[in-house]
Amino acid sequence: DLSEFGVLGLGVMGKSLCRNFASMGVRISMYNRHVPGKEENIALNFKKKHQELENTLAFDELHKFVGSLQQPRKILLMVNAGPAVDDVISELIPLVSKNDTIIDGGNSHYEDTSERERKLSEHGISFIGCGVSGGEEGALKGPSIMPGGNYNAYEKVKPFLEKIAARDKKGKACCTYVGRSGSGHFTKMVHNGIEYAEMQLLAELYQILRTKGNNPDEIASILADSENKMQSYLLEITIDILKKKEGDAWLIDKILDKAGNKGTGNWTTIATAKLGTPSTMIASSLFARYISAFKDDRIAVGKMLPVEVSAVKISDDIILEAYQLARIVNHIQGFKLLNEASKSYDWSLNLSETARIWTNGCIIRSTLMEKLVDILRKEEDLIHHSEIISSIKQLKPSLTRVVAKSIESNQPVPCLSEAINYLNAISHSNSPANLIQAQRDYFGAHTYQRIDDEPGRFHHTEW
């Protein structure tokens, strides 16, 4: 019997997705390349390990894998982003037929996705660039899925993707057609950007609470109280992490403080700069990771410029309110980035639907995200919505105090600071940018507009 769906690449994600498909009753074929000197037949060995894979077909020869699929074929690639995707596509082109669909489920760059779609369309092959979030466990139990590309191609793979996706509160699949071309991968990239800032905010919160004299268990219990109100997956795992011990010692204290990254935060920061949108919190979380990576520098400079870190003398409740507002600002900026991209690339993104598919299965799921589904239905620019405005009014004094006190206490809080700086900048009708315009005109004759003249008329002064 031919299979309904194929999965190519049995790494961390591919394996979990295969088990998910099989558990949902989808007849799949699985393929992993045979690397000489490595495990004999990776797909077959994997199949033998899990009972739910009993009815799957396993291959280490590509032509046999392709031949085992019903036409039009649907093949999900779960290989490393970058050249591996192009290599696999080149190998597949001579084997597949017109009207087959290739889905790239990895974290590919959205511009590469658009180019691959164009290239494959010359062969009559459809291509879906599909963001998948939720890590290994999400892939197994139900990820959040962000497919983009040609809508007719999406319709063919929709039933399969919806089957394995997480469910939202109403039982609907956390999978939706995002839009044309690279929009699915762009959306996944912004998801990861928001995730970077959410993680950095938690790191700053941890630092502030730790320097107040709390041990990791105590911080976990402070956060656990707020978890009831703010339910968020990242907050939840942070509580678990803080409680983890090895013997008498907390594991967190044994982990080297150099943050790694796989590039999606970097891409989001480049994209936000390209689009002229101020996702300052994502950018500052990326740079916070980069600064952390210069550990030797930090040690050397710290010897010359010792900083005396003191405790932030503010109640835990106020600190948590600051965190709560900074999260709101992060989401305001993240969705603004999506909205600007949507306008620039003519993608017609449905931001409320995006929030909806991010309410479960993915890393940035939270009760805030659930609220945003409704809010974004009424107002695409979150900062214009009355509920958001009233939260800002209520929580802003706490964020201001926490940032001010943290800086006085010599604690770096780049992401919390960006949140308050953004709020202050975006809510001032007057900015000092008149001076920037004058300087530009002074050295470069770039001209400026006058507030006492018609808009659109440009002036130059012989300074």
**What positions carry a catalytic annotation?**
188, 195
Helix, strand, coil shares of the chain, percent, nearest 5, are: 60, 10, 30
Residues 6+ apart with CB under 8 A from 194: 282, 330, 331, 334, 364
Please work out the total of residues on this chain that contact ligand NDP, with binding judged by CB under 6 A: 22
Closer residue to ligand NDP in complex, CB, 46/177: 46
Q: Does 12 bind ligand NDP (CB under 6 A)?
A: yes
DSSP-assigned letter for residue 248:
T
**Minimum distance from CB of 344 to ligand NDP (Å)?**
25
Copy the structure tokens of residue 419: 């949140």
Rg over alpha carbons for the chain, rounded to the nearest Å, is: 25
Copy the structure tokens of residue 193: 């950007």
Q: Does 263 bind ligand NDP (CB under 6 A)?
A: no
Looking at residues 124 to 153 of the shown chain, list those that interact with ligand NDP (rule: CB under 6 A).
132-133, 135-136
Closer residue to ligand NDP in complex, CB, 79/416: 79
Q: Does 164 bind ligand NDP (CB under 6 A)?
A: no
Q: Does 252 bind ligand NDP (CB under 6 A)?
A: no
How long a stretch of residues is the chain?
463
Looking at residues 53 to 112 of the shown chain, list those that interact with ligand NDP (rule: CB under 6 A).
78-81, 84, 87-88, 106-107
**Minimum distance from CB of 105 to ligand NDP (Å)?**
6
Q: Does 277 bind ligand NDP (CB under 6 A)?
A: no
Closer residue to ligand NDP in complex, CB, 138/179: 138
Say whether the peptide bond before residue 216 is cis (omega within 30 degrees of 0). no
**Minimum distance from CB of 373 to ligand NDP (Å)?**
22
Closer residue to ligand NDP in complex, CB, 25/67: 67
Q: Partners of 351 in the beta sheet?
A: none
Dist. CA 249–CA 43, nearest whole Å? 40
Dist. CA 240–CA 259, nearest whole Å? 19
**Minimum distance from CB of 60 to ligand NDP (Å)?**
9
Q: Does 237 bind ligand NDP (CB under 6 A)?
A: no
Residues 6+ apart with CB under 8 A from 340: 275, 276, 277
CA dihedral 337, 338, 344, 350 (to 10 degrees): -150
For residue 82, give the 3-state DSSP assignment.
coil
For residue 76, give the 3-state DSSP assignment.
strand
Tell me which residue has its CB nearest to ligand NDP.
11
**Minimum distance from CB of 203 to ligand NDP (Å)?**
19
Q: Does 414 bind ligand NDP (CB under 6 A)?
A: no
Q: Does 261 bind ligand NDP (CB under 6 A)?
A: no
Q: Which residue of 4, 11, 261, 414 would you call a contact of ligand NDP, by CB under 6 A?
A: 11
The interface mask with ligand NDP, positions 16-55, x = CB under 6 A, is ----------------xx-x--------------------
Q: Does 249 bind ligand NDP (CB under 6 A)?
A: no
SS (H, E, C) 387-403: HHHHHHHHHHHHHHHHH
Q: Partners of 113 in the beta sheet?
A: none
Using CB under 6 A, list all residues that contact ligand NDP: 9-14, 32-33, 35, 78-81, 84, 87-88, 106-107, 132-133, 135-136
